[in-house]
């Protein structure tokens, strides 16, 4: 897969922009530890010295071996995981020690990504949830190679007979006909225009988009008929469509939400292994804003005891980059995500795993997850209230509203098929 060239992020002297330096410092510390030399203390991007100790991530080789033994591998956010919740039987592969030569143990855990066709009959999905700011959406892909361990969309893979663990990250489905099916939906005489959300379930700019360009095809359709759209992503790959998005923004047809969970590149690599680095996401916010595209920073999810202390710094840096609005959601762990995230947490942060999970439970009314409308996105209890107040105070200080200005719907022109009779009006 090839990517269009884009300028490298500018060198920054602040601690928050030194993601690559943090990685080099961590590598030096690990080499010194192995050789018996002095251990360097890794710096943490945009984190005050008093809290820096909370963000020293898996520098201990023994701890890394523990995670490896649990079938975690570089570039993946989960292990095999259990079978989907609708499956009657579960098959577990293991090395029986006979070295038959047919299957290597490494092949059982180092899974390559495969993409299959999702033969959907329609792609425009409608919802009536009072918690969401949109009533329709399009998702070109099922599953997501980003591998975010906290992703609330993981349970959706159970409908394909697959697990919410490694299957969600490696066995992907693409709706190759998404552009044609979307045109068919917009062409219907009873269709009423309203913004279409992209990236509401899985990221529309995940790595396979470089080659398949299905999201780009969707944007082409929306642009050609002047249809408003909102895009949510945590990938700098959105910059590949910058010119098209700039044109749509000039007509008031597009808004973008960039998810920034942490400014610490080490934590980001562990928690969301195939996403763009925090520095690249800040660059994406800056370039989109410079192009006149309204951008909202999404500081989500906030995980107590892991990344919640970065909330104000994330908002500060994103406001400096050009974000015009902000949102925040505490960690949600629906269905299988509880097992996936809990196992990842115990493998990578055994010293605080129990404490983090207790705080998550306290933020959802004594449950790991409460799906009640109104509460699932905000949380309950003192910790959730404090987190919400911190967010509100920071947004007021930075003049970051909760919503961007509404998009225009009066420009919409119904798409026509080749050969259709021309309209007289």
Q: Would 408 be classed as within a structural domain?
A: no
| pLDDT in the model for residue 159 | 81
| pLDDT in the model for residue 7 | 41
Are residues 134 and 240 both part of a single domain?
yes
Are residues 229 and 361 both part of a single domain?
yes
3-state class percentages of the chain: helix first, strand second, coil last, to nearest 5: 40, 10, 50
The answer to pTM > 0.85 is no
Are residues 62 and 144 both part of a single domain?
no
Q: In sequence order, what are the residues at sequence separation of 6 or more whose Cβ sits closer than 8 angstroms to the Cβ of residue 203? A: 141, 144, 146, 232, 233, 234, 235
Residues 158, 74 contacting (CB under 8 angstroms)? no
Are residues 307 and 355 both part of a single domain?
yes
Q: b/e map of 294-316 (b: 16 or more CB within 10 Å)?
A: bbbbbbbbbbbbbbbbbbbbbbb
Are residues 35 and 150 both part of a single domain?
no
Question: The tokens of 314 are what?
Answer: 């994330």
The whole domain housing 220 covers 105-398
CA distance 47 to 43: 8
Are residues 171 and 62 both part of a single domain?
no
The domain total for the chain is 2
Are residues 188 and 232 both part of a single domain?
yes
Are residues 316 and 208 both part of a single domain?
yes
Please list the rounded mean pLDDT of every run of 10 residues in the chain (425 residues).
Answer: 43 41 51 48 38 42 49 54 57 56 49 88 91 92 93 88 87 95 94 94 94 96 97 96 97 97 93 93 97 97 94 97 96 90 90 93 85 81 94 97 95 83 57
Residues 349, 314 contacting (CB under 8 angstroms)? no
Return the residue matching tokens 């996403």: 275
Are residues 250 and 294 both part of a single domain?
yes
Are residues 55 and 129 both part of a single domain?
no
CA distance 133 to 232: 12
Phi, psi at 302, each rounded to 5°: -95, 120
Q: What is the pLDDT of residues 65-81, one digit of tens each?
A: 444 545 455 555 555 56
Are residues 112 and 51 both part of a single domain?
no
DSSP readout, 297-340? EEEEEE-TTTTGGGHHHHHHHHHHHT--EEEEEE----TTHHHH
Q: Would 309 be classed as within a structural domain?
A: yes
Q: Would 90 be classed as within a structural domain?
A: no
Are residues 268 and 337 both part of a single domain?
yes
| pLDDT in the model for residue 392 | 96
CATH number for the domain harbouring residue 142:
3.20.20.70
Q: Would 9 be classed as within a structural domain?
A: no
Q: In sequence order, what are the residues at sequence separation of 6 or more whose Cβ sits closer than 8 angstroms to the Cβ of residue 347? A: 66, 67, 70, 72
Residues 225, 257 contacting (CB under 8 angstroms)? no
Q: Would 78 be classed as within a structural domain?
A: no
């Amino acid at each position: 897969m090839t990517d269009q060239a884009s300028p490298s992020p500018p060198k920054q002297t602040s601690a928050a922009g030194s993601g690559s330096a943090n990685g080099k410092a961590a590598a030096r510390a690990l080499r010194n530890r192995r050789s018996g030399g002095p251990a360097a203390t890794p710096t943490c991007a945009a984190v005050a010295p008093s809290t820096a100790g909370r963000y020293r991530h898996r520098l201990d080789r023994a701890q890394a071996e523990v995670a490896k033994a649990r079938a975690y591998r570089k570039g993946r956010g989960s292990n095999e995981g259990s079978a989907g919740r609708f499956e009657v039987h579960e098959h577990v592969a293991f090395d029986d020690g006979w070295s038959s030569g047919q299957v290597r143990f490494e092949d059982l855990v180092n899974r390559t990504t495969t993409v299959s066709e999702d033969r959907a009959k329609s792609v425009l999905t409608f919802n009536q949830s009072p918690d969401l700011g949109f009533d329709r959406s399009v998702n070109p892909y099922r599953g997501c190679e980003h591998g975010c361990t906290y992703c609330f969309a993981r349970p959706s893979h159970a409908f394909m007979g697959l697990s919410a663990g490694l299957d969600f990250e490696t066995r992907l489905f693409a709706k190759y006909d998404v552009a044609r099916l979307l045109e068919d939906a917009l062409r219907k005489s009873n269709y009423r225009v309203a913004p279409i959300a992209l990236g509401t379930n899985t990221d529309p700019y995940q790595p396979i988009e470089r080659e398949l360009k299905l999201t780009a095809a969707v944007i082409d359709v929306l642009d050609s008929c002047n249809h408003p759209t909102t895009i949510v992503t945590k990938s700098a790959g959105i910059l590949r469509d910058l010119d098209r998005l700039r044109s749509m923004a000039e007509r008031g047809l597009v808004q973008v939400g960039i998810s920034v969970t942490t400014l610490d590149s080490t934590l980001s690599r562990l928690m969301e292994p195939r996403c763009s680095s925090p520095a690249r996401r800040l660059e994406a916010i800056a370039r989109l804003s410079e192009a006149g595209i309204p951008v909202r920073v999404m500081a989500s999810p906030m995980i107590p005891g892991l990344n919640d202390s970065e909330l104000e710094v994330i908002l500060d840096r994103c406001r400096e980059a050009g974000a015009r609005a902000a949102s925040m959601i505490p960690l949600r762990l629906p269905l299988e995500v509880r097992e996936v995230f809990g196992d990842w947490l115990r493998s990578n942060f055994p010293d605080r795993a129990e404490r983090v999970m207790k705080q998550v439970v306290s933020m959802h009314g004594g449950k790991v997850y409460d799906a009640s409308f109104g509460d699932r996105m905000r949380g309950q209890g003192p910790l959730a209230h404090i987190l919400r107040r911190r967010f509100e105070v920071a947004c007021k200080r930075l003049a970051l509203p909760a919503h961007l200005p509404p998009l225009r719907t009066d420009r919409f022109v119904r798409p026509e098929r080749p050969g259709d009779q021309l309209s007289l009006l």
